[in-house]
Amino acid sequence: MSSLGEYLRARRGELSPAAAGLPAGSRRRVPGLRRSEVALLADISVEYYVRLEQGRERNPSPAVLDALVHALHLSRDGAEHLYRLAGLAPAPGAVGPERVDPQLAQLLGAWTATPAMVLGRALDVLVANPLAEELFGTFPTTRNLVELVFRDPSARSLYPERDVVARDTVAALRLAEGAHPGDARIREVREGLGDDPGFTRLWERHDARGKTAERKRFAHPQAGEMTLQVQTFDVRGSAGQQLVVYHAPAGSPAADGLALLGILAAQRAAARDPRGTRSG
């Protein structure tokens, strides 16, 4: 089976008949759609759809892919991933070592009340401002967000909704792999977690979606529980890099928590460089 066929089968298995506008029936052995139902919704022959899932047909037309996007209720990220797997998305340019634009890093450092960081293609934290470092406990074991979720014991207490975070993080890595096929760092992260049953189970779901505007709950050992707004932006000119910004409404308990983290970050900086606390 091809990667395209695996993705179609996984998405078919996750879409219920009710969500697709079809009667559930009484003799279903699996909760998802049948191949014949996807073919019906996409207005293609069952035989052709079967060939797609089995990997015997690898070059569907854009019209067929559009129909499958509609039939399987794919999100924008899911649709882009489908197109990439079918070889119809623009091929990524050659990529080398990931570097953050110095001006962008300087901008992050100027945000003293807003945690912010730049992620690389494999969800490595390439740069983080002091407040983000404090929020994540200065990344004691790894600076890769996927490894942090599955390998770092502190993640279970940092993320009260760890299961949701894990699912979204794996989906983001899957999307990145589709956008950058053959990327050595993405492969390294994925293979390094191959012995983790939780990661493997989520990876085999074939969810592919990026980070968007969302809320995320943190339970920080010093600042307490905080619900932060998260905004993610693509970094233009740096393929695969994302700027992630966390913020809290003024006057909220989360804003108070961030203020405390700011104090802790300043104390940590002063401990590293006592001369920075002197006047004149």
Q: What is the CATH number of the domain that holds 78?
A: 1.10.260.40
Question: How many CB atoms lie under 10 A from the CB of residue 256?
Answer: 14
Q: How far apart are CA 216 and CA 219, in angstroms?
A: 10
Residues 42 and 175 in one domain: no
| pTM across the whole model | 0.81
Residue-number span of the structural domain to which 46 is assigned: 3-85
Does one domain contain both 115 and 196? yes
Domain boundary (59, 85, 111) is at 85
Q: What is the pLDDT of residues 52-76, one digit of tens each?
A: 999 999 889 999 999 999 999 999 8
User: Do both 115 and 232 map to the same domain?
Assistant: yes
Q: Which of 50, 85, 120 is the last residue of a domain?
A: 85
Q: Identify whether residues 72 and 141 lie together within a single domain.
A: no
Task: Choose one of 22, 52, 85: the last residue of a domain.
Answer: 85
The DSSP result for 12-28, as a single string, is HHHS-TTTTT----S--
91 in a structural domain:
no
pLDDT tens, 145-203?
A: 999 999 999 998 999 999 999 999 999 999 999 988 889 999 999 999 999 999 999 99
pLDDT tens column, 91-132: 555 456 788 999 999 999 999 999 999 999 999 999 999 999
In a domain, 74, yes or no: yes
Element (H, E) at 3: helix 3-14
